[in-house]
Amino acid sequence: MITYVFLQHYWWFLIALLGGLLVFLLFVQGGNALIFPAGKSEEERSLIVNSTGRKWELTFTTLVTFGGAFFASFPLFYSTSFGGAYWVWILILITFVFQAVSYEFQSKAGNLLGKTCFRIFLTLNGCLAPLLIGTAVGTFFTGSQFIVDKGAVGDIAAPVISRWANGWHGLEAVAEPFNVLFGVMVMCLAISLGALYLINNIDNEKLASQLRRSLLVAFGGFLVALLYVLIRLSTMEGFTVDAEGVVSLEAGKYLHNFLQMPLVLGLFLAGAVLLVVGVLMTLLNGAFKRGIWLAGPGATLAVVALFLIAGYNGTAYYPSTVDMQDSLTLANSCSSEFTLRTMAVVSLIIPFVVSYIAYFWRQMDKRSLTSEELDRSEKY
Amino acid sequence: MVESALVDWSRLQFALTAGYHWLFVPLTLGLAVIMATMESLYVVTGDEFWKKTTKFWMKLFAINFAVGIATGIILEFEFGTNWSNYSWFVGDIFGAPLAIEGIFAFFMEATFFAVMFFGWEKVSKRFHLAATWLTGIGAAISAVWILVANSWMQHPVGMEFNPDTVRHEMVDFWALVLNPVAISKFFHSVFSGWMTGAIFVIGISCWYLMKKRETRFAMASIRVAAIVGIIGTFAVMLSGDSSGIQAAKYQPMKLAAAEGLEEGGPRAPFSIVPGVEIPGMLSILATHDLDGYVPGINNLLDGYTSPDGVQHPSAEEKIARGKRAIEAFGQYRTLQASDPAAAAEARRVLEENMAYFGYGYLTSREELVPPVGLIYWAFRVMVGVGGALLLLMFVVLWAERRGRLPQMKWLLWASLLAIPLVYLAGQAGWIVAEVGRQPWVIEGLLPVKAAVSSVSVGAVQTTFFLFVVIFTLFLLIELRILMKAIVTGPQIENE
């Protein structure tokens, strides 16, 4: 029986899946963060840019679809978070905007700012986008300062439903170490995935060995940040919501969520194992290049699990620290049953979309990228 | 209290983003069809000339495509960052087409763009051709969904207001998708993109002819582009006609403002420019009937009875009924728990006046009139330039077929100068559509001042100027790169 509650959970799962895939595809950003640290020569930098440059639109599209799906399924989040944490989202968007043009512009004659400048834009997006997205997602667990009053629509002079309760409009998230470390974790993960992707996608041994060194550093940073995040996540109070929709604090809520949803815990552990195995095999075996195909899906599974513990099992996924009862839950922030049902039918196309993307990806990447290919064919 | 400066700056920021976005999107839509046609000629004839021709236009396409994507992402998220009340109030309906656009269109564009641009040596000829067409089709599908969303704002259908959740909720998905305004708007916008692509290709090709370079390339490109452009322009005219009929039905104030029509009636005249009118023409355009009744601005404000006997209330009455609806909504929410009978009565009053809900946020009848001068002239620029460009394309195609084009210097210049004009027409069209529907973000239901986010004016001003700098910088760089690439040329003759 497909009930309204089921549809809310189904759509939260899709949001989680899109979030997971987005983090996987942030290998584009992570790879760009390595343009200068790992690319020692022009040839190597050009290889990195052209390798991530053939995938950047998929990451971008996933981000846009993530936003669109959130809008369609949980519009109150869209209106509360985007309109409230204004500066965080604007900063994220600006870094992506610079990335979007930098590939096309960087090596073209007449680009005004020069190749290095556009590559710096790519690097900045590579570091800042995962850092900021991660920091924003961190607030899913620690909460934000906002008020939601749907009755405000009846106030002719001030009809705004969602209001941010401070003037920082999202920037205050950096005052909470958990959020920042969450961001650092996502950034280091993106860089690790970027290194793994480039090792797989580019046929250049010297560059590969430099990328392995970068992978070691980034993955080390990731593990430290992950450790902190997991310890805090297991011990922190979470925002639990009862059947009446009343929100209260519960000690160890997220740990309870993992334990009470063994499938989600299994998903997280399987993802973590795949990620670690992918990275370790790449670091320990110089000939092994397929780490991204273990670590990427691993990261996706782990991120899906994190989203699920944020929203499932009676949890307010976007808590308000000003008035707990204004926290966003799957039930109070979702679209109508009709819309969720209609969009659920639409979502049946997703496996087809993923299949054709995978098919064409395979077609395009049968052979690893080489400098010779860049010399004789189209390139950025 | 929502500050009017906040509303103005939020509108300006959205207009800036949408305006810039529409500089890049129409070229994507039009050039995609032109280069896919050229590549089809390559696959059919096997002539390498067409492959090189396609590749040159594809290079320009890619430069432009990136900036379109960059401005597009800002637009999507601005619904949340700057119009947060809107996002909740109608997110149940509006979010769906945006999500569908991402799932259906953007992934298609992203996947096939990579195959099209980098796949020349990686996939077969036919496979590559399919990728080129699919990139263009992806762009058109994207247009379908964003225009479904936009048209719903112009003519909201398929929804009901739910006072418990305090939003409009979708009740008929197909009414949304098959909204007549969406259908006209799709054809009007996409085919205006064909015009833009065509004029762009013709103008640049004429520059080569002026310079006596790449003659074969230029003549062949002009031939393909002119045919695409002429087909596109006729489709724009047809869809423009149905847009006029729909504006008369669903957005009469927009039509009256676009015509500067103060007092309407049957046999309403069409103003070519101030002081020059064609008697009865507006009635024909708006109703396909010489005696068709077209209300003017004053009729709409004072209230009028249309020939079918329907009484249209005055602005004051609409505002009063809107206030009654909002007040009843407040009562319904307050009394729901304590006095169900009174709450039910409040709900009845709300439903009775719901059609005027948005009017309740307005304070004066003047707010209902969009800026007439701007829309009046924008409409004339759009139609005038569009007509002139159609003529130009016919003449260019005729001259090309006769082999006289390279000698007709004035025509080459006119074609080159037509490039900025086609963009001007496109921008003017969106001014008519969007400024023309003010003060509404959703016609009759939600005015812009009740839709904005609660952020400071200073924050929006800061991001506005930030976007001005960023978008202008991108535009300048794009133009510079395009010009360098054009000066270098396809270099087909030198091979």
Distance CA B330, CA B346 (A): 9
> In chain A, positions 223-282, which contact chain B (CB-CB < 8 Å)?
none
- Average pLDDT over chain B reads 96
Taking only the tens place, the pLDDT of each residue in A161-203 is 999 999 999 999 999 999 999 999 999 999 999 999 999 999 9
Contacts of B143 (CB under 8 A, 6+ apart): B25, B29, B186, B189, B190, B193
Distance CA B229, CA B235 (A): 10
Taking only the tens place, the pLDDT of each residue in A347-357 is 999 999 999 99
Q: Give residue A216's domain range.
A: 4-376
Question: In chain B, whose CA is at the least distance from the CA of A65?
Answer: B102
B34, two tokens: 């032109």
SS3 label, residue B310: coil
DSSP letter assigned to residue B295: -
> In chain A, positions 123-152, which contact chain B (CB-CB < 8 Å)?
150-151
Which residue of B1, B24, B69 is the best one to mutate when testing the A interface, meaning the one whose CB has the most A CBs within 10 A? Answer: B69
Q: At what angle do helices A253-260 and A205-235 cross, to 10 degrees?
A: 110
Amino acid B492: pLDDT? 87
Rg over alpha carbons for chain A, rounded to the nearest Å, is: 21
Contacts of A275 (CB under 8 A, 6+ apart): A294, A295, A298, A299, A302
Asked if A160 lies within 8 A of B104 by C-beta distance, the reply is no
SS3 label, residue A168: coil
Torsion of CA A100, A103, A104, A106, to 10 degrees: 120
B298 CA to chain A: closest CA distance, Å? 26
Torsion of CA B431, B435, B440, B444, to 10 degrees: -80
The sign of the dihedral angle between the CA atoms of A107, A112, A118, A120 is positive
Distance CA A41, CA A21 (A): 31
Asked if B110 lies within 8 A of A61 by C-beta distance, the reply is yes
Distance CA B377, CA A27 (A): 49
Q: Which residue has the tokens 């092994």?
A: A288
Asked if A338 lies within 8 A of B171 by C-beta distance, the reply is yes
On whether the CB atoms of residues A131 and A181 are closer than 8 A, the answer is no
Q: Which of B106, B122, B455 is facing A83, going by the closest CB pair?
A: B455
Distance CA B447, CA B89 (A): 12
Phi first, then psi: what are they for A85, rounded to 5°?
Answer: -80, 55
Which residue of B77, B145, B334, B482 is the best one to mutate when testing the A interface, meaning the one whose CB has the most A CBs within 10 A? Answer: B77
pLDDT, mean of residues B298-306 = 96
> What are the C-alpha distances in Å from B115 to residues A60, B35, B270, B439?
17, 15, 50, 44
Strand partners, B273: B276
Question: In chain B, whose CA is at the least distance from the CA of A348?
Answer: B103
Rg over alpha carbons for chain B, rounded to the nearest Å, is: 25
The sign of the dihedral angle between the CA atoms of B392, B394, B397, B400 is negative
Q: Which of A65, A153, A342 is facing B106, going by the closest CB pair?
A: A65
Residue A148 backbone zone (phi > 0: left; psi -120 to 50: alpha; other: beta): beta
Taking only the tens place, the pLDDT of each residue in B357-374 is 999 999 999 999 999 999
E strands, chain A, in order? 146-148, 162-164, 237-241, 247-251
| pLDDT classification of B495: cutoffs 50, 70, 90 | low
**What percent of chain B shows pLDDT beyond 90?**
97
Q: Which of A76, A104, A342 is facing B62, going by the closest CB pair?
A: A104
Q: Provide the number of structural domains found in chain A.
A: 1
Q: Residue A90: name the closest of B357, B308, B124, B81 by CA.
A: B81
Amino acid B494: pLDDT? 56
Amino acid B303: pLDDT? 97
Asked if A364 lies within 8 A of B91 by C-beta distance, the reply is no
CB atoms within 10 A of CB A368: 15
| pLDDT classification of B3: cutoffs 50, 70, 90 | confident
ipTM more than 0.85? yes
Q: Where are the alpha helices (DSSP H) in B211-314?
A: 215-250, 252-259, 281-287, 297-302
Distance CA A172, CA A86 (A): 11
| β pairing state of B276-278 and B270-273 | antiparallel
Contacts of B125 (CB under 8 A, 6+ apart): B42, B43
On whether the CB atoms of residues B117 and A364 are closer than 8 A, the answer is no
Which residue of B73, B74, B121, B445 is the best one to mutate when testing the A interface, meaning the one whose CB has the most A CBs within 10 A? Answer: B73
> What are the C-alpha distances in Å from A202 to residues A68, A127, B81?
33, 21, 39
Is pLDDT above 70 for B1? no
Distance CA A157, CA B449 (A): 9
Taking only the tens place, the pLDDT of each residue in A9-33 is 999 999 999 999 999 999 999 999 9
On whether the CB atoms of residues B457 and B6 are closer than 8 A, the answer is yes
Asked if A104 lies within 8 A of B110 by C-beta distance, the reply is no
Amino acid A163: pLDDT? 95
CB atoms within 10 A of CB B404: 11
Q: Which residue has the tokens 């500089």?
A: B23
Taking only the tens place, the pLDDT of each residue in B378-432 is 999 999 999 999 999 999 999 999 999 999 999 999 999 999 999 999 999 999 9
Distance CA A108, CA A118 (A): 11
pLDDT, mean of residues A203-223 = 97
Amino acid B238: pLDDT? 97
DSSP letter assigned to residue B289: S
Which residues in chain A are contacts of B115 at CB distance < 8 A? 360, 363-364
pLDDT, mean of residues B132-155 = 96
Taking only the tens place, the pLDDT of each residue in A325-352 is 999 999 999 999 999 999 999 999 999 9
Q: Which residue has the tokens 């819309």?
A: A339
B233 CA to chain A: closest CA distance, Å? 31
Q: Residue B432: name the closest of B232, B296, B254, B281 by CA.
A: B254
SS3 label, residue A374: helix
Is pLDDT above 60 for B304? yes
The sign of the dihedral angle between the CA atoms of B405, B409, B413, B416 is positive
Distance CA A44, CA A206 (A): 9
> In chain A, positions 156-195, which contact chain B (CB-CB < 8 Å)?
156-164, 167, 169
Q: At what angle do helices A56-73 and B48-81 cross, to 10 degrees?
A: 40
Q: Which of A63, A111, A154 is facing B330, going by the closest CB pair?
A: A154
B358, two tokens: 């948005």
Amino acid A378: pLDDT? 83
DSSP letter assigned to residue A144: B
Strand partners, B162: B167
| pLDDT classification of B52: cutoffs 50, 70, 90 | very high
Distance CA B227, CA B394 (A): 9
Q: At what angle do helices B180-210 and B372-402 cross, to 10 degrees?
A: 50
Taking only the tens place, the pLDDT of each residue in A35-58 is 999 999 999 999 999 999 999 999
Asked if A97 lies within 8 A of B106 by C-beta distance, the reply is no
Distance CA A78, CA A83 (A): 8
Which residues in chain A are contacts of B330 at CB distance < 8 A? 151, 154-155
A275 CA to chain B: closest CA distance, Å? 26
Residue-wise DSSP of A247-286: EEEEETHHHHHHHH-HHHHHHHHHHHHHHHHHHHHHHH-T
Distance CA B295, CA B313 (A): 13
Q: Which of B73, B112, B455 is facing A64, going by the closest CB pair?
A: B73
Distance CA A149, CA B166 (A): 10
- Average pLDDT over chain A reads 96
Asked if A82 lies within 8 A of B361 by C-beta distance, the reply is no
Amino acid A363: pLDDT? 87
> In chain A, positions 99-128, which contact chain B (CB-CB < 8 Å)?
100-101, 103-105, 108-113
Is pLDDT above 90 for A376? no
CB atoms within 10 A of CB B121: 10
Burial (Cβ within 10 Å: 0-12, 13-18, ≥19) of residue B338: exposed
pLDDT, mean of residues B454-476 = 96
Which residue of A115, A125, A133, A153 is the best one to mutate when testing the B interface, meaning the one whose CB has the most B CBs within 10 A? Answer: A153
pTM of the model: 0.94
Q: How many residues does chain B have?
A: 495
B9, two tokens: 């700056």
**What percent of chain A shows pLDDT beyond 90?**
95
On whether the CB atoms of residues B455 and A169 are closer than 8 A, the answer is yes
Taking only the tens place, the pLDDT of each residue in B179-231 is 999 999 999 999 999 999 999 999 999 999 999 999 999 999 999 999 999 99
Distance CA A65, CA A253 (A): 30
Amino acid A1: pLDDT? 79
Asked if B169 lies within 8 A of A61 by C-beta distance, the reply is no
Q: How many residues does chain A have?
A: 380
Contacts of B98 (CB under 8 A, 6+ apart): A67, A68, A71, A72, B76, B79, B145, B146, B149
B216, two tokens: 């074969």
Which residues in chain A are contacts of B329 at CB distance < 8 A? 153-154
